[in-house]
């Protein structure tokens, strides 16, 4: 499934970018639920070296996806508009 970047996800990525932390700094404050909105819940995972999120579709199905620190910047700028997701296990 493709997740189309919406305002909620763009706001999360704007918050990530505004904190100006390196990947190592994010790893040091690892959290799986730092960012929560109506449809998204997630945070930075040090093992994956990525922001890992759940997306809750209107149908009630949960999907998992992740993106890097660099991709967060691309999402925030509008250069990246879709992410691949898989159904949660």
Q: What is the DSSP letter of 46?
A: T
pTM, entire model: 0.94
pLDDT at site 25: 96
Block means of pLDDT (10 residues each) for the chain, 89 residues, are 95 96 95 94 96 93 96 96 96
pLDDT at site 83: 97
Distance CA(63)–CA(14), nearest Å, equals 22
pLDDT at site 65: 98
**87 SS3 class:** strand
**Angle between helix 7-18 and 69-77 (nearest 10):** 120
**40 SS3 class:** strand
- What is the token pair recorded at 75? 């999402």
């Amino acid at each position: 499934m493709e997740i189309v970047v919406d305002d909620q996800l763009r706001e999360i990525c704007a918050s990530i970018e505004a904190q100006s932390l390196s990947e190592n700094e994010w790893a040091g404050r690892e959290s799986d639920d730092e960012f929560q909105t109506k449809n998204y819940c997630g945070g930075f995972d040090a093992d994956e070296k990525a922001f890992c999120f759940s997306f809750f579709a209107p149908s009630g199905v949960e999907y998992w996806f992740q993106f890097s620190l660099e991709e967060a910047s691309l999402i925030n700028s509008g250069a990246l508009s879709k992410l691949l997701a898989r159904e949660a296990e």
